[in-house]
Amino acid sequence: MQPILSLVGVNKSFGALQVADNISLDLPRGQALGIIGPNGAGKSTLFNLIGGALPVSSGEIRFDGQDITRQRANQRCRQGIARSFQIPHPFTGMSVYENLLVAASFGGGKTDQARDILTRTGLLDKANVQVGTLSLLERKRLELARALATQPKLLLLDEIAGGLTEGECQALVRTICDIRDSGVSIIWIEHIVHALVAVVERLIVIDFGKIIIIAQGAPAEVMATPLVQEIYMGIEIDDHAA
Size of the site for ligand ADP (CB under 6 A): 10
Residue closer to Mg ion, measured from CB, 42 or 107: 42
| Residue 196 makes contact with ligand ADP by CB under 6 A | no
| Residue 14 makes contact with ligand ADP by CB under 6 A | yes
E strand map for 66-193: 66-67, 81-83, 154-158, 185-189
Tell me how crowded residue 214 is: count the other CB atoms within 10 A of its CB.
15
In order, the DSSP letters of 37-83 are --TTSSHHHHHHHHHTSS--SEEEEEETTEE-TT--HHHHHHHTEEE
Distance separating alpha carbons of residues 16 and 158, to the nearest angstrom: 25
Contacting ligand ADP (CB under 6 A), which of 7, 19, 82, 231?
Answer: 19
| Residue 18 makes contact with ligand ADP by CB under 6 A | no
Chain residue at closest Cβ approach to Mg ion:
44
Q: Which stretch binds ligand ADP (CB under 6 A): 32-40, 98-106, 135-143, 163-171?
A: 32-40
Q: Which stretch binds ligand ADP (CB under 6 A): 39-47, 65-73, 129-137, 141-149?
A: 39-47
Distance separating alpha carbons of residues 242 and 237, to the nearest angstrom: 9
| Residue 192 makes contact with ligand ADP by CB under 6 A | no
Residue closer to ligand ADP, measured from CB, 37 or 90: 37
Backbone CA torsion sign across 49, 55, 61, 62: positive
CA nearest 227: which of 194, 205, 211, 201?
205
| Residue 155 makes contact with ligand ADP by CB under 6 A | no
| Residue 42 makes contact with ligand ADP by CB under 6 A | yes
Contacting ligand ADP (CB under 6 A), which of 23, 41, 104, 215?
Answer: 41
In the three-class reduction of DSSP (H, G, I as helix; E, B as strand; rest coil), residue 140 is classed as helix
- Sheet arrangement for strand 58-63: 17-27, 5-14, 58-63, 66-67
| Residue 76 makes contact with ligand ADP by CB under 6 A | no
Binding at 40: pick from Mg ion, ligand ADP, none (beta carbon under 5-8 Å per type): ligand ADP
Binding at 132: pick from ligand ADP, Mg ion, none (beta carbon under 5-8 Å per type): none
* Residues lying near Mg ion in the complex (CB under 5 A): 43-44
| Residue 9 makes contact with ligand ADP by CB under 6 A | no
Beta bridge pairs of residue 58: 11
Residues that bind ligand ADP (CB under 6 A): 14, 19, 37, 39-45
